[in-house]
């Protein structure tokens, strides 16, 4: 039983480590393409993608 608990804890920690890396990657891609992360794009900007793991829009 202890082995299963330890295995579950290791898998849980590995999943948590992967989550922030995915959230930063789309934000970094937006900024490297000269975009800005916002909730809504202004009228002269285009919506190019997402930021913050899909919570914001990448506007250019």
Residues 12-49: pLDDT tens digits? 676 666 555 555 688 999 999 999 999 999 989 999 99
Predicted pLDDT of residue 9? 76
Q: In this model, does residue 11 exceed pLDDT 70?
A: yes
Nearest partner of 56 among 44, 43, 34, 35, judged by Cα: 35
Give the C-alpha separation, 60 to 55, whole Å. Answer: 17
- For the chain, the domains span 2-59
Residues 6+ apart with CB under 8 A from 13: none
Predicted pLDDT of residue 14? 66
SS3 string of 26-47?
A: HHHHHHHCCCEEECCCCCCCCE
Identify the H or E element spanning 21: helix 2-32
């Amino acid at each position: 039983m202890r082995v299963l608990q330890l295995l579950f804890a290791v898998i849980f920690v590995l999943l948590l480590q992967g989550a922030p890396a995915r959230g930063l990657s789309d934000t970094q891609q937006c900024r490297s393409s000269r975009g800005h992360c916002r909730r809504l794009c202004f009228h002269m900007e285009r919506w190019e993608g997402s930021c913050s793991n899909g919570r914001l829009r990448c506007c250019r």
